[in-house]
Structure 1
């Protein structure tokens, strides 16, 4: 890991299904509050795969070659003169988005809503599938002893789940239903358990995901059927013992799928809380009558905000969330595109790409 070598191999998306490896300049520390990090491991998110397949997500369109990746951990190799919290050799999880710090949302503690956010691998900003990454020191979280760099690469999706569960205000003794058993859905269920929920139900259409959810964190699982949303909701409540309560205290949708969202509103109890964490179609048919008649508290959730990353690190360090179980495998940097293919085909839960500073 020598930035003086000038080599900064990066995995770059030119256009859909057109990627290449190329050397980019090693970043310079133009701000005394920044650090330079050698990237050791990077996970692949669904948004990365979407850009690779389609070249755009909504109005974010890849117009120039863009480095992919934003779920990373690495090792500090240089620190700006004003940095007092980190030093070369420290292992860190990277928070990949940097707000303006000056607008109303930022000053109000909701920097994830900053309109001027610079987020890795979101056009026009490059991502972290690269050799070296420069970042503000306060957006790099030192990993405690006992937390590996591979676990550090999963702090990003765990922070997403922490934010969702905090939006739901999950508290001890509650019942929580999580729609979707992909990485974020699984982590939402795990965080809900860590927050003290005593009934945690994972719902999906893929049996293998549900079997993993049962072994990972869920107290109950339910395989969604090709029936009405009301019938699926009734089945969930019956199988999880939630009929007497009239449904779950909290329902989280981590899928973005219209049938799951509809089922969610019929699953939550009177006066319960519903949080939309998954993104799907821009517009859907929504059971507004169920929302109103139950006086459901409905919230959106976007990325992560103040304290979420710090708590995610603590959950891993304390052993309350075992993110290692989600790692299906690790591939060398030169096999990055194959890793994307495996994620697209649903062959893995979470695959990590090593390096290019990490040899496997």
Structure 2
């Protein structure tokens, strides 16, 4: 099924080089039988996008030619391929930004986030969704409820990180959790662990605004890292025991070291945040005494349906994370806002088509 007068081109915001965006029009590829054509309605800016914008690179990825950023998105289907049966024109969807090969060992075992051939939006070589329309495989779009806004639906991507981390650590009720870092992913991890039955949640950050938001989302104790020692505060809150689970979501080198030390014996930690540097010192004596279980985390797999369900049950809370709104033509302003306004801004949303909300 298709709507009339389908677009063949798409106005897009390209990162030309570090610090510079340029509007261009791209020609849409021909749809395959299993594809859908999506009108992109809302795109959230991620910290990795900002890193590419600011430095022109992220880890081993370098922007060597113009690249469309953005990978947190939702939209409306305009057309479906001949083999698509689960969607129709007019459906509202969230878009999962990684398309794996589907054939390698990792894909076959269900760990498709680790697929070496995955094509992930906004990584050099694969354009993202700061564009009006995209042609995309139908296997990686998901229905969203009619009463869910496009902005909240776009949170399905960063929220999936917290859901995946909670599943990886096998979070169970009755434990205390420490979340290091109150950026959008850290804040959404609060929502994730609550959905898995956790009620005692300690959160740290350097920004009072973000710590206040953490409390609004359900944190039971907050730590201002500019005034308090993280390990001492966690031990104090847990009667000297430490927490059962820790999530390091800041990427700060010192925080990465400290977060491990907040665990009780046989506690579990997931490293979520993109590191500022590749290596952090670890206390080996602590590790050989407390037997912590340490997990690295790379994106997510098989999380979108659950993430959408949890967000739908917590739309009022999720809405507290969305603070700023820009048009596609204002992409550079939106990125500058994200980069420089950590004391008052959380999730910045860009609208590639009509603007739904004001600043």
TM range (shorter): over 0.9
Q: Does the Cα contact within 8 Å between 2:8 and 2:28 map onto a contact in 1?
A: yes
Deviation (angstroms), 1:26: 2.2
Match among 344, 348, 351 for residue 345 of structure 2? 348
- In 2, the alpha carbon distance for the partners of 1:277 and 1:216 equals 19
- In 1, the alpha carbon distance for the partners of 2:211 and 2:195 equals 19
1:237 aligns with 2:238: no
Matches within 5 A, 1:50-69: 50-69=51-70
Match of 2:150 in 1: 149
Match of 1:18 in 2: 20
Q: Secondary structure at the match of 1:176?
A: strand
Superposed CA offset, 1:56-106 (max 9, x none):
111111111111111110000010111111111001000011000000000
With 106-115 and 11-20 compared, the bigger mean Cα shift is at: 11-20
Match of 1:28 in 2: 30
Q: How many residues align?
A: 352
* TM-score calculated relative to the size of structure 2: 0.94
Q: Secondary structure at the match of 2:250?
A: coil
- In 2, the alpha carbon distance for the partners of 1:218 and 1:122 equals 33
Deviation (angstroms), 1:289: 2.1
Match among 219, 244, 269 for residue 264 of structure 2? 269
Match of 2:170 in 1: 169
Q: Secondary structure at the match of 1:86?
A: coil
Deviation (angstroms), 1:236: 2.1
Deviation (angstroms), 1:263: 1.3
Superposed CA offset, 1:279-300 (max 9, x none):
2111121222212211111111
Q: 1:316 to 1:304 in 2, by over 3 A?
A: same
Matches within 5 A, 1:110-189: 110-189=111-190
- In 1, the alpha carbon distance for the partners of 2:355 and 2:33 equals 27
Q: Give the 4+ runs in structure 1 shifted more than 2 A.
A: 1-7, 318-322, 355-360
Match among 287, 295, 310 for residue 291 of structure 1? 287
With 312-321 and 349-358 compared, the bigger mean Cα shift is at: 312-321
Q: Secondary structure at the match of 2:125?
A: coil
Superposed CA offset, 1:133-168 (max 9, x none):
111111001101221111111111111111112112
Q: Secondary structure at the match of 2:145?
A: coil
Q: Does the Cα contact within 8 Å between 2:96 and 2:304 map onto a contact in 1?
A: yes
How large is the Cα RMSD of the aligned pairs?
1.7
Q: Secondary structure at the match of 1:322?
A: helix
Q: Which runs of 5+ in 1 are unaligned?
A: none
Deviation (angstroms), 1:42: 0.4
Deviation (angstroms), 1:320: 7.5
Match of 1:45 in 2: 46
Q: Secondary structure at the match of 2:353?
A: coil
- In 2, the alpha carbon distance for the partners of 1:75 and 1:152 equals 11
Q: Secondary structure at the match of 1:4?
A: coil
- In 1, the alpha carbon distance for the partners of 2:143 and 2:199 equals 31
Q: Does the Cα contact within 8 Å between 1:15 and 1:55 map onto a contact in 2?
A: yes
- In 1, the alpha carbon distance for the partners of 2:61 and 2:76 equals 30
Match of 1:95 in 2: 96
Match of 1:109 in 2: 110
With 42-51 and 319-328 compared, the bigger mean Cα shift is at: 319-328
Deviation (angstroms), 1:202: 0.8
Q: Does the Cα contact within 8 Å between 1:315 and 1:321 map onto a contact in 2?
A: no
Deviation (angstroms), 1:359: 5.8
1:6 aligns with 2:8: yes
